[in-house]
Structure 1
Amino acid sequence: MKIVGLSGSNIGSKTRTTMKYVSEKLTSQYSHVDWKFIDLADHTLEFSDGRNYLDYEGDTGYIAKTIMEADAIIIGTPIFQASIPATLKNVFDLLPINALSGKIVSFFVTAGTSKHFLIPETQLKPILSYMKAQTVSTYVFIEEKDFLNKEIVNEDVLFRLDALVEDTVMLTDTYQRIRSEKESMYDF
Structure 2
Amino acid sequence: MKKVVLISTSLSATSKSASLIQSAAEQLKTAELIDLRQLSIPFCDGRKIEDYSKEIQLLFKTIEEADALVFGFPIYCYSISGVLKNFIDIFSHAMNGKRFGICAAAGSKLSYLAIADLHKIMQFQSNAIGVHPAVVADYTDFENDKPSLDIKERIQRMIAEL
TM-score, normalising length from structure 2? 0.89
One-letter amino acid matched to 1:139: A
Shift in Å, 1:9: 1.6
Shift in Å, 1:157: 1.4
Match of 2:33 in 1: 37
Stretches of 4+ aligned residues off by more than 4 angstroms? none
Taking the TM superposition and a 5 Å limit, the aligned residue runs for 1:8-47 are 8-11=9-12, 12-27=14-29, 35-47=31-43
Match of 2:8 in 1: 7
Q: Is the 8 A contact 1:53 1:94 kept in 2?
A: yes
Shift in Å, 1:81: 2.2
Sequence identity, in percent? 31
Question: Is 2:141 aligned against 1:146?
Answer: yes
Cα RMSD, aligned residues only = 1.7
Choose the corresponding residue for 2:121, options 112, 127, 140. Answer: 127
Taking the TM superposition and a 5 Å limit, the aligned residue runs for 1:84-95 are 84-95=80-91
Shift in Å, 1:62: 3.3
Larger radius of gyration: 1
Match of 1:137 in 2: 132
Q: Which moved more, 1:54-63 or 1:72-81?
A: 54-63
TM-score, normalising length from structure 1? 0.78
Gapped regions of structure 2 (runs ≥ 5): none
